[in-house]
Amino acid sequence: MNNDKIKISTRNLNVYYGAKQALFNINLDLMEKKVTALIGPSGCGKSTFIRCLNRMNDVIDICKVDGSIKVDGSEINEKNVDVNKIRERIGMVFQKPNPFPKSIYDNIAYGPRIHGLAESQNVLDEIVENSLKKSALWEEVKDRLNQPGTSLSGGQQQRLCIARAISINPEVILMDEPCSALDPIATAKIEELIDELKKSYTIVIVTHSMSQAARVSQNTGFFHLGKLMEFNLTEKIFKNPDNKMTQDYITGRFG
């Protein structure tokens, strides 16, 4: 595709919910410090896929993940891997903003405190400030860090969750439809933010919006019924896809 460095690669990834198979033989390489968009109709397995990358599917009792997932060349889909360390390196932002019922400050400080990243209050303050600045929320909340995170608007809450994810300085940020609960203005802000964040982080974003995928990503993967139909440069996918189905989906003929 090009000579960027591969950050995460999956080989023969199969996921089952009980007897039902949700993903079939996914082989996908995610490039470092690029935005990769995953598109496809509802229920096609995009979310299931990114939840494999930080082992969030472990939470679901009946979910079984088979195959290889390598981050920087080392396998993470193994029993003896420390899941919490993986999640420290690979953060996640969810579809619905889910700030903790704590103050804005404590929402951000949560991760650094758990992982012991700040030896002193000053360092912690700095981390909080930086994370909020990076997520373009600082100016809006700097005077009310003690108010509950749930008091913010939907778009602000989502940026708070992004700030929370980057507070522990992860390598990868997974975003599961981060804008689907937001209005267009808040969405535009988040997209701007993603553009900014890709300088420091590898980003994977699941989205239902073709235009969003086209705007923010460099690579795009198209999923359909649990299979990766096509994966290529975003430009190529949207202008001249190889697969007929991809063509049909992005032009809105099905899905």
Sites of contact with other proteins (CB under 8 A): 54, 56, 59, 61, 84-88, 91-92, 94, 96, 98-102, 110-111, 114-115, 161, 164-165, 168
Determine the 3-state secondary structure of 230 from DSSP: strand
- Beta pairing class for 90-93 and 202-206: unpaired
Beta bridge partners of 204: 36, 174
> Cβ of residue 105: shortest distance to other proteins, in angstroms?
14
> Cβ of residue 60: shortest distance to other proteins, in angstroms?
10
> Cβ of residue 241: shortest distance to other proteins, in angstroms?
32
**Nearer to other proteins (CB atom), residue 76 or residue 237:** 76
> Cβ of residue 158: shortest distance to other proteins, in angstroms?
12
> Cβ of residue 144: shortest distance to other proteins, in angstroms?
20
DSSP assignment of 59-123, as one string? GSTTEEEEEEEEETTEE-SSTTS-HHHHHHHEEEE-SS----SSBHHHHHHHHHHHHT--SSHHH
CA distances, 144 to each of 9, 141, 152, 163 (Å): 41, 5, 10, 16
Determine phi and psi for 10, rounding to 5 degrees: -115, 145
> Cβ of residue 47: shortest distance to other proteins, in angstroms?
12
> Cβ of residue 70: shortest distance to other proteins, in angstroms?
19
From edge to edge, which strands make up the β-sheet containing 202-206?
A: 90-93, 172-176, 202-206, 35-39, 219-224, 227-233
**Nearer to other proteins (CB atom), residue 38 or residue 50:** 50
**Nearer to other proteins (CB atom), residue 117 or residue 225:** 117
**Nearer to other proteins (CB atom), residue 134 or residue 164:** 164
**Nearer to other proteins (CB atom), residue 24 or residue 100:** 100
Q: Give the span between the Cα atoms of 138 and 231, in whole angstroms.
A: 36
Neighbours of 20 (CB within 10 A): 9
Backbone dihedral region for residue 226 (phi beyond 0: left; psi -120 to 50: alpha; all else: beta): left
**How far is C-alpha 151 from the chain's CA centre?**
24
How open is the CA angle 154-108-212, to the nearest 5 degrees? 45
179: DSSP letter: T
**Nearer to other proteins (CB atom), residue 93 or residue 210:** 93
**Nearer to other proteins (CB atom), residue 33 or residue 115:** 115
